[in-house]
Amino acid sequence: MALDGILLSKIIPQIRSALPLRIQKIQDVSGTELLFQTHGTGGKKQLLISCHSVYNRLLFTSRSYPVPYQPGNFVMVLRKYIEGGMITAIEQAELDRWCRMDILRRNNLGDEETLYLYIELMGKYANVVLASSDNRIIDALKRIPPFENSRRTIHPGALYPLTPSQNKKNPFTDHTIDPQKSLTAQFSGFSPFLSKEVEYRMSLGETFADIMKEIEESDSLYIAADKQEPVFHCLPLKSCGHNVCYPLFEGFDILYFRREEKERIRQVSGDINHFVNRQLKHLKQKLPRLIGELDEARDCEKWKKYGDLLFTWQVNDTKGSSSILLQDYETDQDIEVPLDPRLDGKGNARRAYQRYNKLKKGQTYLQEQIEITEEEISYFEGLLEQLDLADYDTAIEIQEELIRLGYLKNNQKKKKSGRRKKESKASVTEITTPEGIRISFGRNNYQNDELTWHIARRNEIWLHAKDYHGAHVVIHAEDPDENTMRAAANIAAFFSKGRQSSSVPVVYCPQRNLKKIPGAKPGTVQLGAYKMIYIDPDADQISSLGISF
């Protein structure tokens, strides 16, 4: 569900009330999201502009957004022209889904000038356009050259084409309704969803004027589920059952943050999930071939028998024949001996012995390859589990892990040594239980390694779901109470492949009972003496502990 003009009309005044705002820094969160770090009389504020086809919006946000190392071209243009400038005004075009920001800045000569930032929140056509004081386009997030759309060209140097007025009535001032037309066709700012909600309320006896007054006075966002999809607006949604009410900007963050985070993971990390699945498919096709070759290698004695028979019966003339029938000197049964038609008897005997020696020696190699392949399958299956519940930072660390192990190429430009060193250290998740005991856990292999070998003390309790890929969990206490143990075991079970199961076995022991395996993949440990607890993974308890997933 996309933003409509009436909802945008509720957002604009809240942004306007914070003006003027100085733009201190401009960042791109993803290919469709811009983040402005601003400062005004009300302090620091983050202004998010999203041009996602579904999640497009404009709001102040308090969430922490990751930014890529290398900014995009449009962000570099914005930094050149308006970073350090002052947002002095913001105006919506009637009740349409676009608005204009006036940005006062000083040019290269030191003279003041006003640039315009047009924000178009029109679904799949959402865009941000920077224009000069004479409305010439400087650049745009999404360029539209003339050969794509001759009526509305969005390209540097072109005159910015204002979206034409729809010539509809303003629902806040004109309450006359034509029953022959839909509300969307009559009034500006009405989406099909809002039209449906208002018509439902009117069928219950409410007047159009009262509904519009309620919208005008609202500063909240109401979220409800309709056919499993969330719907929202700035008035209670009586046509959709249960509603949850939030402050306007907070509601948008709750509605979209996690969803767009998954989009960012795919955009910024280069779709690790696709790479891991491709590797798994290859390895799972390779494993049966290796097992078949090992079975054949273990049957190598027959080739020694073939060589012995050819020498025993003094076979010489075999050229042109693909096989020969010889009597086994041990069982007196006939055995069909395969031949190479190009070789004589002695040559075929030597060939049989060579094949025997090769298969015998190959058994060790094939067994090693099978073990390596099985370990690789287990490793990549573990990565899939981690990606399933990964946040942005966790996904980036998984990408870095694959680069360090040589699975992926590092296409990033080299960073400054200090920044790179700081970012290479994995950060684990830490919570504090109601009893005041700290629990830490890792969401990927490097976080697990950091927690187990560098953070955990020798006598602190370490937990992990038995026989499942999953999180390493550490209770930062030597003798935790039962509630803490069960909470930590629930974390270990939930953040593992067994989270959809019941009675998941979770092993636990002091950290001193663990041993690091030389040459093993990150996140792998060898257990010494341990105990076990069985737990039913409980998502509600995970949420009550303040853990996002």
Q: What does the buried/exposed string (b/e) look like for 372-408 if buried means 16 or more CB atoms within 10 Å of the residue's CB?
A: ebeebbebbbbbebbbebbbbbbbbbbbbbbeeeebb
pLDDT at 30: 81
Q: Is the pLDDT of residue 308 over 80?
A: yes
Collapse the DSSP code of 4 into the 3-class scheme (helix H, G, I; strand E, B; otherwise coil) and give the result.
coil
Give dist(CA 486, CA 528) in Å, integer.
21
Question: Do 462 and 514 form a contact (C-beta atoms < 8 A)?
Answer: yes
Give dist(CA 174, CA 212) in Å, integer.
10
Collapse the DSSP code of 421 into the 3-class scheme (helix H, G, I; strand E, B; otherwise coil) and give the result.
helix
Q: Is the pLDDT of residue 427 over 90?
A: no
pLDDT at 421: 42
The rounded mean pLDDT for the chain is 88
pLDDT at 113: 94
pLDDT mean over 456-466: 94
pLDDT at 151: 81
Give dist(CA 444, CA 432) in Å, integer.
20
pLDDT mean over 425-440: 88
Of residues 167 and 280, more confidence is placed in 280
Write out pLDDT tens, residues 417-426: 444 444 456 7
Of residues 273 and 510, more confidence is placed in 510
- Token pair 């990033």 in the structure block, residue: 412
CB-count exposure of residue 535 (10 Å: 0-12, 13-18, 19+): buried
Write out pLDDT tens, residues 180-234: 888 999 999 999 999 999 999 999 999 999 999 999 999 999 998 776 678 899 9
Where does the pLDDT of residue 411 fall: very low under 50, low under 70, confident under 90, or very high at 90 and above? low
pLDDT mean over 43-66: 89
CA angle 29, 35, 38 (to 5 degrees): 155
pLDDT at 425: 66
Write out pLDDT tens, residues 96-136: 999 999 999 998 888 999 999 999 998 888 999 999 999 99
pLDDT at 81: 95
Closest CA to 47 of 501, 325, 205, 38: 38
Q: Nearest 5°: phi and psi at 227?
A: 55, 45
pLDDT mean over 404-420: 63
- Token pair 């449009």 in the structure block, residue: 74
pLDDT at 549: 67
Sign of CA dihedral 184, 190, 194, 200: negative
pLDDT mean over 488-493: 94
Tokens of 303: 């080739």
Q: Is the pLDDT of residue 354 over 90?
A: yes
Where does the pLDDT of residue 3 fall: very low under 50, low under 70, confident under 90, or very high at 90 and above? confident
pLDDT at 420: 43
Q: Where are the domains of the chain?
A: 5-140, 183-268, 273-387, 422-544
pLDDT at 69: 67
Where does the pLDDT of residue 285 fall: very low under 50, low under 70, confident under 90, or very high at 90 and above? very high
User: What CATH code would you report for 5-140?
Assistant: 2.30.310.10
CB atoms within 10 A of CB 82: 21
Write out pLDDT tens, residues 123-171: 888 999 999 999 999 999 999 888 887 788 899 999 999 888 878 999 9
DSSP structure class, residue 455:
I
pLDDT mean over 331-358: 91
pLDDT at 267: 64
pLDDT mean over 361-379: 92
Where does the pLDDT of residue 2 fall: very low under 50, low under 70, confident under 90, or very high at 90 and above? confident
Where does the pLDDT of residue 329 fall: very low under 50, low under 70, confident under 90, or very high at 90 and above? confident
Q: Is the pLDDT of residue 511 over 80?
A: yes
Tell me which long-range contacts 430-438 makes (C-beta under 8 A, separation of at least 24). 431/545, 431/546, 431/547, 433/483, 433/484, 433/487, 433/545, 434/483, 435/481, 435/483, 435/484, 437/475, 437/476, 437/477, 437/480, 437/481, 437/484, 438/475, 438/476, 438/477
Q: Is the pLDDT of residue 314 over 90?
A: no
Closest CA to 387 of 462, 534, 277: 277
Give dist(CA 447, CA 472) in Å, integer.
8
Q: Is the pLDDT of residue 415 over 50?
A: no
Q: Which of 176-180, 263-267, 300-304, 516-520 has the lowest mean pLDDT?
A: 263-267
